Amino acid sequence: MQSRNIIKQPMLLPFDMRVNAFEATFIREKMPEINAIGFDIEERGETVFSVTAIPMDLQNINLQVFFNDILSDVNGYRAIKLEDILKDKLASAACKAAVKGGMDLTRQEVEALLVQMDGDMGLKCPHGRPVVVKMTRAQLEKMFKRIV
């Protein structure tokens, strides 16, 4: 997260947000952090802001939902870093794009995943759950009732 390369995607049409005065103050206060995580936001009026660019790694994000989430608990987010919110959003986006249990993969896709793992069997999903576990032969045999 700290070393992420921020590439901004300018929007063809800006996303306009109408907010109340309290939310507008919050956005003004957090503008440097919002810009630092990859959003370009311009103030268009006392309570109107336009998002003109978004981070490439969140290009499929629903901006309405994203900003509603942030603004729905303005008091709570005053103490929380926007970076933590972004980290959660990136984890959710990665999770949605990830291979899920029961999905059929081609041999090439399986091989590509193994190459990407590069022998790292301690991999975890974006939320911290393991994607690979190590089992002994005895554990495997117990699962299939080969041994008791």
Domain assignments of the chain as residue spans, ordered by start:
8-97, 107-143
**What is the C-alpha separation between 147 and 138, in angstroms, rounded?**
8
* Between residues 63 and 51, the one the model is more confident about: 51
Number of H helices, E strands in the chain: 6, 3
pLDDT at residue 41 tops 80: yes
Q: Identify each DSSP E strand in 19-132 by its residue range.
A: 40-45, 48-55
- pLDDT at residue number 74: 65
Residue % of the chain over a pLDDT of 90: 20
- pLDDT at residue number 17: 93
pTM: 0.58
Work out the pLDDT band at 46, boundaries 50, 70, 90: very high
**Class of domain 8-97 (CATH, top level):** alpha beta
